[in-house]
Structure 1
Amino acid sequence: MTSRVTLISPATTPSLRRARFDDGDSIEESAGARARSAAGSLPPAGRVFASPSVRCRETASALGLDASPDPALAGLDMGRWRGRTLEEVGAAEPEAVAGWLADPGAAPHGGESVRVLCARIARWLDTTALADDRTVAVVEPEVVRAVVVHALGAPEAAFWRVDVRPLTATEVTGRSGRWNLRLGHDLAQSGEAAGR
């Protein structure tokens, strides 16, 4: 049995634009319009989920998706850094930021480490592989990164090497233990590609 999972990154928010750790802001109007124009371009899915964040739920809605929020798909818990920019944190705690970026097991912010996030998302993906229908999920960029790391069997340090653009689709097909990866297609193209 082959499972198909399409992950959609959220529309742009002021926080994303300023490299601010998610502080619960809404998607920008122009980004919402772009998402609404892509509505209907996604392949039909038996299961539709969203990260519980405001921006993922709003993006799913703008895409015309009736998505169920899934706590397992939450973004990286940034603890006390939430709502601050990377520049602000780097100026105040340069050693903590350097350690966090170098060590996937580090969580100097008191939240979740990249290692813990990658393990959580790997469990979700492998469980999703048991379903025999297509899954679509609107998820935080770091969730997409974690899926890419797991699908490729890459080391956790590769997490920071994956760039995820807003409103793009990443698809994994296969099953637990063997995944094929298709990266970062614009939404209109992802619907066409999924039909192949």
Structure 2
Amino acid sequence: MWVAPAMNGALREARFAGDAALDAAGARAARLAAAHVPDADRTVHAPSERCARTAEELGLRSAVEPALRDWELGRWAGARLDEVSAREPEGVAAWLADPSAAPHGGESLLGLCARAGSWLDSLSGAGRVLAVAEPSLVRAAVVHALALPPQAFWRLDVAPLTLTELTGRAGRWNLRAGRPLADGPGGR
């Protein structure tokens, strides 16, 4: 089970987040959603401050999972998408069109999907695992689990404080996507 972290300022500004903190509105939304988090045998969170704080506000006792780090976007980290598009239009176009491209000097989409998939496949026999992870990781895990073409990544939306469930096992996953943890806007 994957929970996308609560909203923060970087998401509102369409920034390549880097490690942007959870803001007060996001923390409040996570606290409101806490009663709706499903039970799990094991709970982990990505190493970002946003994911760690969301897990904390959800009342989870979770361990940091380094494999769930956000998409490494190199020199684009922290910049707004419109800024990068104006500065490096060819790089952004390549990044969006070619899953193996990494014009930012970071990780390619193929690399991200492989990393998310490798972690997901390692869970065989682990019982019910709940991971608080950035939307990019959730999307990459879905691409891997359903054996979708990498370009499908760009067609998946993962809203803040939603639950995406992958049930089954490596090689045979089923998807239940986008259930809000609580009624209302989900921290948006």
Short-chain TM bin: over 0.9
What is the letter of the counterpart of residue 23 of structure 1? G
Residues paired across the two proteins, number: 183
**SS of residue in 2 equivalent to 1:40:** helix
Q: Does 1:22 align with 2:17?
A: yes
1:145 maps to which residue? 139
What is the letter of the counterpart of residue 7 of structure 1? W
Q: Does 1:50 align with 2:33?
A: no
CA distance in 1, matches of 2:161, 2:167: 20
CA distance in 2, matches of 1:44, 1:145: 22
2:36 maps to which residue? 41
| Alpha-carbon shift at residue 182 of structure 1 (Å) | 0.4
Q: TM-score, normalised by structure 1?
A: 0.91
| Alpha-carbon shift at residue 34 of structure 1 (Å) | 1.2
The residue correspondences of 1:1-196 to structure 2 (distance < 5 A) are 6-131=1-126, 133-188=127-182
**SS of residue in 1 equivalent to 2:122:** helix
What runs of 5+ residues in structure 1 fail to find an aligned partner? 1-5, 190-196
What is the letter of the counterpart of residue 98 of structure 1? A
Q: Deviations over 1:101-154 (max 9, x none)?
A: 0001000000000100100111100111231x2100100000010111112110
**SS of residue in 1 equivalent to 2:6:** coil
1:194 maps to which residue? none
| Alpha-carbon shift at residue 23 of structure 1 (Å) | 3.1
CA distance in 1, matches of 2:146, 2:97: 20
What runs of 5+ residues in structure 2 fail to find an aligned partner? 184-188
What is the letter of the counterpart of residue 113 of structure 1? S
CA distance in 1, matches of 2:113, 2:91: 20
Give the ranges of 4+ consecutive aligned residues of structure 1 lying more than 3 Å apart after TM superposition.
none
CA distance in 2, matches of 1:112, 1:41: 34
- Percentage of pairs with the same residue: 53
CA distance in 2, matches of 1:129, 1:17: 36
CA distance in 1, matches of 2:82, 2:54: 26
CA distance in 2, matches of 1:42, 1:164: 16
| Alpha-carbon shift at residue 86 of structure 1 (Å) | 0.7
Q: TM-score, normalised by structure 2?
A: 0.94
